[in-house]
Amino acid sequence: MNEEFYCCLKLVSGEEVISEIMIDDNDTDPVIVMQTPLKVETMTRGSSGYMKLVPWMSVPDDDIFIIKPDKVITMTELPEDHEMVEAYQHYNMQRAFYVDGERKVRVSKQMGSLGSVKDARSNLEKIYNTTADHVSGIATHA
């Protein structure tokens, strides 16, 4: 197999697909191996147009698909800094946060304390009691 690269393919079905691909031409029947392909849909809203990325195939759990070269009308390699590659990478990164239809957020220390509700309540009570004691101490000395 050759090395992987980002590519935009126009298929005989009329679909335009962006994917990271490899071309396997080692045997007599070459194939194109696509990893996490996304279909490019052009949309219009009023007088503006934009492109939307959607999964090429929405049902399978696999991210690797194989197609034969005779199903491709044309293809073009995209540099890694191309805006469509950046959109492709962003879409796939966001999709990685969803598991079984639910958004899964990875908790990190940058998000704040990683304690429990019980610990938080205890800490808040200590702060309240310390402040209340301090305020009542000021009031009795006045």
Q: Which residue did the predictor score with more confidence, 27 or 13?
A: 13
Q: pTM of the full predicted structure?
A: 0.64
* 135 and 90 inside one domain: no
Q: What is the mean pLDDT of the chain?
A: 81
Residue 97 CA to its chain's centroid (Å): 7
123 shares a domain with 78: no
Mean pLDDT for the stretch of residues 119-128: 80
Same domain, 123 and 94: no
**Among residues 19, 60, 25, which one has the least CA distance to residue 10?**
19
CATH, residue 96: 2.30.30.100
Give yes or no: residues 23 and 41 share one domain. Answer: yes
Q: Which domain holds residue 57?
A: 5-106
Picking from 1, 3, 6, 7, the residue whose alpha carbon sits closest to that of residue 75 is: 7
Which pLDDT score is estimated for 37? 94
**One domain, residues 40 and 67:** yes
Residues 102 and 126 in one domain: no
Joined together, the tokens standing for residue 23 give: 């071309």
- Could you tell me if 58 and 125 lie in one domain? no
Strands 31-45 and 102-103: unpaired
Do 121 and 51 reside in the same domain of the chain? no
Same domain, 126 and 68: no
* pLDDT tens, position by position, 33-69: 999 999 999 888 888 888 899 999 887 678 889 999 9
Specify whether 34 is located in the same domain as 102: yes
**Residue 123 to residue 117: CA distance in whole angstroms:** 10
Least confident of 69-78, 80-89, 91-100: 91-100
pLDDT for the residue 107: 54
What's the confidence (pLDDT) of residue 120?
75
The span from the CA of 15 to the CA of 62, in Å, is 20
